[in-house]
């Protein structure tokens, strides 16, 4: 069983962001054919991420690659608010793409590209333990479409049963849940992990086997293909 070395803490994970409490996300998923990998990653890391982070209201960002599920690539941006995407600076970038962007954007070379704008619904209040950590070394992302008639029970079970239990698993650092306000499906759950082996641990598997969500809510929700996905951070580089 893999354990990350304790002597090499992730500098990005431990760095501070003041008192900012992050409540909005933009996530972009894409599958990219292997022949585009090298230039696609160079464009994202060297031009696109720095450009986006120069716009007001972009607080943090990271890129991930799927180890389980998909789509294969994931970019996550923490936003000050959803209005960040309406700023003149952001609109100017979007409406005047560079030549490299015209050639390498996930809308050009990607397959099944998905862009979601999300607003945080859990936790609903400021939690000092969730503030200023930076972007997690690994994530598990679940994307769910939930029938209207079971939404209330779904949210209750997630917030008051499943999440508190999963937070007791070693290496599970935080859980944040979002409602998608631009795109589909409607719900996104982000588990933040110390490393990508957390959902393979015996305790995680035990909790999953004991989970009674479907009995509690009296129905079923659906995932799009590739969800849930487990992702390892590839940019900025991890310390382990």
Distance CA 213, CA 215 (A): 6
Does residue 35 register a pLDDT over 90? yes
Distance CA 198, CA 204 (A): 7
The pLDDT confidence band at residue 235, using thresholds 50, 70 and 90, is very high
Q: Specify the pLDDT at position 132.
A: 60
Which of 24, 17, 12, 11 is CA-nearest to residue 176? Answer: 24
Over residues 210-238, mean pLDDT: 96
Q: Is residue 1 predicted with pLDDT exceeding 70?
A: no
Taking the CA atoms of 123, 128, 134 and 140 in sequence, report the sign of the dihedral they define: negative
For the stretch 177-209, pLDDT in tens is 999 999 999 999 999 999 999 999 999 999 999
Task: Tell me the per-residue pLDDT of 101-137, one tens digit each, with 9 for 90 and over.
Answer: 999 999 999 999 999 999 999 998 766 555 566 899 9
What distance in Å separates the CA atoms of residue 176 and residue 121, rounded to the nearest whole number?
A: 8
């Amino acid at each position: 069983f893999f354990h990350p070395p304790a002597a090499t803490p992730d500098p990005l994970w431990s760095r501070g962001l003041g008192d900012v409490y992050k409540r909005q996300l933009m996530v972009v998923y894409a599958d990219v054919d292997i022949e585009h990998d090298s230039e696609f990653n160079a464009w994202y890391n060297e031009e696109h991420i720095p450009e986006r982070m120069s716009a007001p209201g972009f607080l943090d960002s990271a890129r991930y690659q799927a180890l389980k599920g998909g789509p294969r690539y994931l970019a996550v941006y923490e936003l000050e608010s959803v209005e960040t995407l309406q700023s003149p600076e952001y609109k100017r970038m979007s409406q005047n793409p560079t030549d490299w962007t015209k050639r390498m954007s996930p809308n050009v070379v990607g397959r099944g590209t998905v862009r979601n704008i999300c607003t945080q619904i859990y936790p609903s209040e400021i939690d000092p333990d969730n503030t200023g950590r930076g972007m997690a070394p690994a994530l598990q992302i679940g994307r769910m479409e939930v029938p209207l008639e079971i939404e209330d029970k779904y949210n209750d079970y997630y917030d008051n049963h499943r999440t508190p239990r999963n937070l007791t698993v070693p290496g599970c650092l935080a859980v944040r849940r979002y409602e998608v306000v631009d795109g589909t499906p409607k719900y996104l759950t982000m588990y933040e992990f110390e490393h990508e082996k957390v959902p393979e641990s015996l305790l995680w598997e035990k909790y999953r086997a004991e989970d009674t969500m479907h009995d509690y809510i009296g129905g079923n929700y659906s995932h799009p293909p590739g969800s849930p996905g487990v992702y390892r951070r590839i940019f900025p580089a991890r310390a382990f």
